[in-house]
């Protein structure tokens, strides 16, 4: 996978990677079923998902308008 040279597209790609990593962590914690699985899922998986969503929304809001 190659990253785009456009800064907005690069941020969108990075936010997608964060969301996918968060979903993978939560899926692994569902399969793990250990005593700390809930805490890892909530802590690491939730943090990655939240960071990906915030970065996605921030990149949409801060993108330059076409007419300007």
pLDDT in tens, 23-49: 999 999 998 888 888 898 999 999 999
* Structure confidence by residue, pLDDT tens digits, 17-29: 999 999 999 999 9
pLDDT at 3: 67
What is the residue-wise DSSP string for 21-55? Answer: HHHHHHHHHHHH--TTHHHHIIIIIHHHHHHHHHH
Residues near 51 by beta carbon (within 8 Å), at least 6 away in sequence:
18, 22
Per the prediction, the chain carries an average pLDDT of 89
| pLDDT band of 66, cuts 50, 70, 90 | confident
Enter the tokens of residue 19. Answer: 């969301």
Domain boundaries, the chain: 16-61
pLDDT at residue 11 above 90?
yes
> What CA–CA distance (Å, rounded) separates 12 from 63?
11
């Amino acid at each position: 996978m190659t990253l785009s040279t456009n800064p907005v597209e690069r941020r969108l790609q990075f936010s997608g990677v964060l969301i996918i990593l968060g979903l993978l962590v939560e899926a692994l914690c569902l399969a793990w079923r250990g005593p700390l699985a809930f805490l890892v899922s909530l802590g690491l998986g939730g943090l990655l998902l939240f960071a990906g969503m915030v970065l996605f929304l921030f990149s949409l809001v801060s993108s330059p308008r076409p007419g300007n």
